[in-house]
Amino acid sequence: MIDAATYFAAKLAHETDPSDVYAAQKAGESLTLVDVRSDEAWRQGRISGAVHLPYREIAARAAEEIPLGTPVVVYCWSPGCNAGTRGALEFARLGYEVREMIGGYEYWVREGQPTENDEGALPRTFDPLTMVVQG
């Protein structure tokens, strides 16, 4: 059994959230954001700048598409979806530095961060239940 401090430190080492990922992108930090959802979900909407690699295909495709040593952040739909965890596990098994973005696409959208689909940028909305909205 581990103590609380060890547990939470380990959790933070392997998770991140939409606000921190967006801040890292804006700061120019090196990371590859990976959408592990289905093709249909990807076409409906995704985080701008993300790479699409469904979690079931990571073992076969990751090494060809994302250089080992590249920090990876994975996301799926929402807190109710465990595809992000499945994707993170696959990347970890391959030796990548990987974190899961908690909240997934849902919370990215709710925080008003940039999204797009095949037609281009999607409208940005800001949900006061997930963030402070400046008026």
pLDDT given at position 135: 66
Q: Which long-range contacts (CB under 8 A, 24 or more apart) does 24-33 make?
A: 25/49, 29/71, 30/70, 30/71, 31/70, 31/71, 31/72, 31/73, 32/66, 32/70, 32/71, 32/72, 32/73, 33/73, 33/74, 33/75, 33/101
pLDDT given at position 1: 86
* Tens-binned pLDDT, residue by residue, of the chain (135 aa): 899 999 999 999 999 999 999 999 999 999 999 999 999 999 999 999 999 999 999 999 999 999 999 999 999 999 999 999 999 999 999 999 999 999 999 999 999 999 999 999 999 999 999 988 886
pTM of the model: 0.94
Is-contact 72 96, C-beta < 8 A? yes
pLDDT given at position 128: 94
The DSSP secondary structure of 51-62, one letter per residue, reads EE--GGGHHHHH
Q: How far is CA 18 from the centre of its chain?
A: 8
Q: How far is CA 29 from the centre of its chain?
A: 15
Which residue type sits at 107?
A: Y
- Of 70, 99, 88, whose CA–CA distance to 10 is shortest? 99
pLDDT given at position 131: 87
Q: Which helix (H) or strand (E) holds 46?
A: strand 46-47
Is-contact 9 47, C-beta < 8 A? no
